[in-house]
Amino acid sequence: MSNNSISQEHYKYLKKIKRRKQIISITQVTIFILAIILWEIAARLDLIDTFLTSSPSDIVKMFVKMVEGGDLAYHVGISIVENIVGFTAGTFLGVIIATALWWSDFWAKVLEPYLVVLNTLPKTALAPIIIIWIGTGYQGIIVTAIITSVVITIMNMFNSFISVDEDKIKLLKTFGASKLQTFTKLVFPQSIPAMISTLKVNIGLSWIGVIVGEFLVSRAGIGYLIVYGGQVFQFDLIMMSLFILTIVSVVMYKLVSIIENKYLKWHQ
């Protein structure tokens, strides 16, 4: 650090670190490729029953067929929209409710046990009721997705709001800040990192809501493809849907990470 010209020893050190990183990445990729190849070989040699396991080549064939027919874009698109609406609305609603609780200490105390109980309840258990109440369209699915993420958002955000340093609040008071100013200048900005990490969790939770909702409603979406594939014993379809689901949720998670790194320079 102190010198611009890197010493031989330091160069070796850096190289060693870099080398280790490369080996880890290469091993990770190799495991994946090996697993796919073994799967394919086992399928071709009839070592496994492709009726129950499908095979990589069959999955690719199914993928090409559905892309060409335009079905895939339709189903994946619907699920993505439901998910995005679900987790953004869940996060937004959760933040609003957490704000209200921060505002009123009395109601925060009153509602605390209810929140704890709601938090322990597996939200997907409510899906059948929600779908009956709201309707069997995409609305019911979206509400299921919202319900899965909203309670944890309220709890995370409220905890973040109340963990703000008392002296910082005191500082704002000495400047004559109102409660609203305390919130907008201090409490909320301080909680943005917590909000983004909650958002990341919510993407996953919201997918659970969406998939369960689609299982029940069974009209369209990735969840529908999986249930349908199960009913007609089309394992190619189930496996392909699972792969797509994995890829889509990873991409969404990464997108939030990119936004996080871009806007939260101060947080590192």
| Residue of 77, 80, 74, 36 lying closest to 58 (CA atoms) | 36
Q: How far apart are CA 169 and CA 165, in angstroms?
A: 7
- In angstroms, give the least distance from the CB of 160 to another protein: 14
Q: How far apart are CA 81 and CA 84, in angstroms?
A: 5
- Mask for 5-44, x = binds another protein (CB under 8 A): ----------------------------------------
Q: How far apart are CA 178 and CA 197, in angstroms?
A: 28
- In angstroms, give the least distance from the CB of 184 to another protein: 10
Among 190, 197, 218, 234, binds another protein (CB under 8 A): 190
Residue 195 interacting with another protein (CB under 8 A): no
Among 15, 16, 19, 173, binds another protein (CB under 8 A): 173
Amino acid at 7: S
- In angstroms, give the least distance from the CB of 175 to another protein: 4
> Which residue has tokens 């590192």?
268
Residue 267 interacting with another protein (CB under 8 A): yes
Residue 177 interacting with another protein (CB under 8 A): yes
- Residue 216's contacts (CB-CB under 8 Å, 6 or more residues apart) are 127, 128, 131
Q: How far apart are CA 28 and CA 194, in angstroms?
A: 30
Residue 99 interacting with another protein (CB under 8 A): no
Query: Which among 32-40, 71-79, 173-181, 232-240 is the span making contact with another protein, rule CB under 8 A?
Result: 173-181
Among 49, 71, 112, 165, binds another protein (CB under 8 A): 165
Give the residue with the Cβ less far from another protein, 50 or 197. 197
Q: How far apart are CA 69 and CA 58, in angstroms?
A: 16
Residue 120 interacting with another protein (CB under 8 A): no
Residue 186 interacting with another protein (CB under 8 A): yes
Handedness of CA 89, 90, 96, 100 (dihedral sign): positive
**DSSP SS3 for 217:** helix
Task: Say if residues 153 and 198 touch (Cβ distance below 8 Å).
Answer: yes
Among 4, 106, 232, 266, binds another protein (CB under 8 A): 266
Among 42, 93, 99, 168, binds another protein (CB under 8 A): 168
Residue 185 interacting with another protein (CB under 8 A): yes
- End-to-end C-alpha distance for the chain, whole angstroms: 20
Query: Which among 29-37, 79-87, 150-158, 169-177 is the span making contact with another protein, rule CB under 8 A?
Result: 169-177
By 3-state DSSP, what share of the chain in percent is helix, strand and coil, each rounded to 5? 85, 0, 15
Q: Residues in the site for another protein, rule: CB under 8 A? A: 165, 167-168, 170-177, 181, 185-186, 189-190, 192, 264-267
